[in-house]
Chain A
Amino acid sequence: MIRVVLPPHLRKLARVEREVQLDVEGPVTLCSVLDALEARYPMLRGTIRDHVTQRRRSFVRFFACQEDMSHEPPDAPLPDAVATGAEPFLIVGAMSGG
């Protein structure tokens, strides 16, 4: 079970609480976690990564285990603590005013 923490705007959009839990088949990577998240909450498509290029939106960052995972390759494995559910995978809106 993968734990994912969404930023407040996306929680409201998906109508969920702070943390959601996902089953991810196969290797636990940035890509597979986001695929599972978007499959379960289709309204999040396009809000975290581009519909076509799948690139992360500029003002969105990915954190886990106190590390910035934003620039990891999409198919690189996430830390074991995320894969086992011991630690959450954090999707964060940049601290950039507004």
Chain B
Amino acid sequence: MSRVRVLVGTRKGAFVLESDGTRGRWDVSGPHFGGWEIYHLKGSPAEPNRLYVSQGTSWFGQLIQRSNDGGKTWEPVGNRFVYDGVTGTHLWYDGTPHPWEFARVWHLEPSPTDPDTIYAGVEDAALFRSTDGGQTWQELPGLRNHESASSWQPGAGGMCLHTILLDPKERERIFVAISSAGTFRTDDAGKTWRPINRGLRSEQLPNPTAEVGHCVHRIAMHRSRPGVLFMQKHWDVMRSDDAGASWQEVSGNLPSDFGFPIDVHAHEPETIYVVPIKSDSEHYPPEGKLRVYRSRTGGHEWEALTNGLPQRDCYVNVLRDAMAVDALDPCGVYFGTTGGQVYASADAGDRWAPIVRDLPAVLSVEVQSLP
């Protein structure tokens, strides 16, 4: 029978939750790295017991930890993230130039084929890569050197590169998303990049349809169909059917189209999930009801999934990296909240139950489906 391993990053440590394929009873391990912020941890698809962790605090900076045994033991690896060449400026919150400064690693994306190759999305926004298991990191500077970079501005969480999608078919194609610059694509393994934000509209910008400047919260794809992308923007849920060249809004009947995560069912490329949040200044569910919304039509038509989720007095948030799906059948869906709950559904969202209720605020959730 298959097993599932859920990797949870929180404000005060990492947790590893494991279950068999029934996904009914869970073993909880952690906190690992207690007291440290764990923005993200993720396993290598090529070697599932190889895990990588982004660990940090404002006191002692950034660390990267690696496990070769599924999280039983860890070793610190390289934490030297140095921008390549001269760093210019981007815009600060007040619109004045601000020097590029490394703050933290938001997201780690292991190669699907090589356990020693891994990408890191960092704040201030840039993309790094390691090809030696995390011991050393090199920036792919073409992104940060894009001609628009001096006009990028931070979102509320900082100017972070938070999403990395490696195209499973076009091996040199990578999509990234930056708050608050937008979505970018390379077709030459990171040498050159172009913004892919046509169709986005953000009223917070002087030019609402500008080429860059959009606060993209998350993008997602189904591995079988990497030319189709889904996006949760600051406001608006969007989709692209041409690898990001153009976007259309698919918010449809959502109670709010503000939110952070978006994900795709493991076996149904047109089934997608979002968690509506009331507004950009009220980061909690509308009406105090925690609802995942599912569309089986790739957007436009959405249904509320509420069975097992709190439907009164709930004022948590679900952050952008805190939702994931497993590869079992039926597909499991998981998300974590700023209130410390990790909810799981073993039936594609129809029914939910908490795996854990009282963790520190959850920053990220990833899932591994194991043999």
Contact = CB atoms under 8 A, between A and B. Distances in A.
Contact of B59 (A43, A45, A46, A57): A57
A93 B59 contact: yes
Contacts of A94: 59
A29 B35 CA distance: 31
Interface stretch (A20-28, A47-55, A63-71, A80-88): A47-55
A7 B60 CA distance: 10
B202 interface: no
Nearest to B35: A9
B79 interface: yes
Nearest to B56: A47
Contacts of A98: 35, 57-59
B61 interface: yes
Contacts of B80: 45-46, 51
B242 to A, nearest CB: 41
Nearest to A57: B61
Given A9-B35, A9-B36, A52-B82, A47 B63 contact: yes
A47 B36 contact: no
A10 interface: yes
B76 interface: yes
Interface string B74-116: 0010011010000000000000000000000000000000000
B341 interface: no
Contacts of A9: 35-36, 57, 59-60
Interface string A20-46: 000000000000000000000001011
A60 interface: yes
Given A9-B35, A13-B76, A43-B76, A57 B60 contact: yes
Interface in B46-86: 57-63, 76, 79-80, 82
B57, B59, B61, B63: most-surrounded residue (chain A CB, <10 A): B59
A45 B58 CA distance: 15
B61 A47 contact: yes
Contacts of A45: 79-80
B82 A10 contact: no
Given A9-B35, A9-B36, A13-B63, A46 B79 contact: yes
Interface in B1-59: 35-36, 57-59
A6 to B, nearest CB: 10
Contacts of B79: 45-47, 51
Contacts of B36: 9
A13 B76 CA distance: 8
A94 B59 CA distance: 7
Contacts of B61: 46-47, 57
Contacts of A46: 61-63, 79-80
B324 to A, nearest CB: 27
A60 B82 contact: no
B61, B79, B80, B82: most-surrounded residue (chain A CB, <10 A): B61
Nearest to A92: B59
Interface in B193-237: none
Contacts of A47: 60-61, 63, 79
Contacts of A10: 60
Nearest to A52: B82
Contacts of B63: 13, 43, 46-47
B60 A48 contact: yes
Interface string B310-333: 000000000000000000000000
A92 to B, nearest CB: 10
Contacts of A96: 58-59
Contacts of B59: 7, 9, 57, 59-60, 93-94, 96, 98
10 contacts: A7-B59, A9-B36, A9-B59, A46-B61, A52-B82, A57-B59, A58-B58, A60-B60, A93-B60, A98-B57
- 4 closest cross-chain pairs (CB), A and B: A47-B60, A59-B59, A43-B76, A93-B59
Interface of A: 7-10, 13, 43, 45-48, 51-52, 57-60, 93-94, 96, 98
